[in-house]
Amino acid sequence: MTLDTWVTGWRPRDLNAGNFPQLRGAVLANYFSDPVFRKMLAKPPEADPAAAVMAWATTFGKVLTWDDIGWLRGLTKLPIVLKGICHPDDARRAVDAGVDAIFCSNHGGRQANGGIAAIDMLPDVVAAAGEVPVLFDSGVRSGTDMVKVLALGARAVGVGRPFVYGLALDGAEGAVHVLRCLLAEADLLMAVNGWPTIADVRAAGAVRVR
């Protein structure tokens, strides 16, 4: 469950370009193809795109709170992961609510500029989460970044933009090439530093130098 968009941030580049593709009915296929969403509409999205977009905006704008986690748990047996936790207090509250994992992320800063980097918050979030796994993304651009994140306590690392850049340049093969390069760089960095396994990386740890 993504936590960063109670409202959309002030995004000058999008405003200057007049770019909000959802309001034009783009990038909403996951909604428009969903049978539950389609039942909410008087007409299918293909027949009345504008009404479908407004229904999406109304649905997307409903804010969830901590009290809704119990309701969500009652809907599914799947693991519940909260993505967007960057403060130890929120991590502790998520653990108390019974979530299965925490995703420490500011989503690449796509909503609020000028905040604390997510990686600076990661160690405190990991400590607060205890035995609950912490995943991480936000600004991961290299295999070196991946190793640093693992050393700071994350259980797994998410890669966003580099993967998409490869996809844009050369389709699936481009995405695979990017991932292979990231893994190769991480493997070499571990070898240079004498860490044969990820367990060794975690045992070595890392210290933020300012």
Q: Catalytic residues, which ones?
A: 107
The DSSP annotation for 69-91 comes to HHHHHTT-SS--EEE---SHHHH
Q: How far is Cα 208 from Cα 210, in angstroms, rounded to an integer?
A: 6
Residue with tokens 């481009």: 174
The H-or-E segment that residue 179 falls in is helix 161-192
DSSP string, 27-38: S-HHHHT-HHHH
- Other Cβ atoms less than 10 A from the Cβ of 41: the count is 16
